Structure 1
Amino acid sequence: MSENATAPRRIPTAAVVILVAAVVGVAGLVAGSALTSGGEPVPQPAEGSAEAGFARDMQAHHAQAVQMSTMVRDATEDPEVRSLALDIMLTQQQQAGQMYGWLEQWDMPQASLAAPMQWMSETDSGMGPIEHGADATAAPGSDTVMPGMASDADLGRLADAGGVDAEVLYLRLMVAHHEGGVAMAQAALDLVEDDDARRLAQAIVSSQTAELAVLNDMLDARQAVSTGQ
């Protein structure tokens, strides 16, 4: 394992700035969920729980989707792609803000020494390992693969691309990214007990599964144009 394998994982600074604004809007919802209907406090997730790991890993996963969506909006004038990218940016920023708020409410740091996806491997859920795509890469500070994450090389190619080439590359990367996000959220549904975490995991499974159909249709159309078919 590399020297950086035990270093705390960090959410990119730009993403944190975005997320802080979102936290303001969800803080009341998070605080309200800390009580039962009878007014009694409910146990909150502990450090090392699936809830904590899911919140941290999915924040990092969402941050990359926002990054790629910002990049393609600068690289194309296509209104359909720009609209899709904006929708992904806004949705995933808002969801990441919720997860940021949970960790604040649970008195946990936003980063952890635990490797990405360890919240799955250390459970007795009986699930096998998540299948990772060929382009899946280790999250920063770890040699553990997070499903669907684009590599640094992929991000570099997206930054250099323009027009239809940028659109095709973005859509390919986002298909893999959504497939990984759905796998992570589905795993969370099998592991977490916190009601808010379960609701968000289900929302991610539902919304990103639906978006995958749109992404694939848009990709097919643009690949046909780029190959002259």
Structure 2
Amino acid sequence: MTRVLIADDEPLIRVGLRAVIDSEPDLEVVGEADDGAAVLPLVRTLAPHVVLMDIRMPLVDGIQATRQILTTVPDPPKIIVVTTFESDENVYAALRAGAQGFLLKRSRPAEIVQAVRVVASGESLLFPAAIRTLAGRFGGGAAPLGRPPGLPLGAANLTQREADVLRLMARGRSNTEIAGELHLGVQTVKTHVGNVLTKLGARDRTQAVIAAYESGFVS
């Protein structure tokens, strides 16, 4: 059972997300927060696998709450940012802070359920076109938000195969899809992905892909 925490200051949004998630036999909402300030204590108490995190909340926003979780919780949950506008600079800041992906508030129920399952399985919820646009608009001026250690990409010393894997990651390919395109075993791809993350100093696939776009490695 995948345990989900919902953080949003709008009661109607929380009710709607709960109804969608609790309707699935393998998903369960274990708690709700109406502000980012309440998220960290609930994460420690309820141990959710996934947090659906609104960005704009009155006291502590979703970016701050994401950073708090990922820097203080030993085995942190996966975080999906829930937003109204995908081109928002705050979405990009949340992704750079460590969120595994984002969802629009107008997403269909099936898309919400799939997103939770994807990140719970260890994959990142990547939308290559959106991330490319965000990196183009906000990447150059994003230094105050903090850059993951180990960048820029030019100093990462990726092997040719690792570079191939990173390019496909940036196109939103899963490990299975990468394995098929490169004629490799899935476990071999997982090893390459792990090496890429280590060399980039990236926490996850999303941060690696952002690094690839910001550095110009992928355009």
The higher radius of gyration belongs to: 1
Question: Comparing both chains, which one has the higher relative contact order based on Cα–Cα distances under 8 Å and sequence gaps of 6 or more?
Answer: 1
Name whichever structure is richer in strand by fraction: 2
TM-score strictly above 0.5: no
TM-score (norm: length of structure 2): 0.31
Name whichever structure is richer in helix by fraction: 1
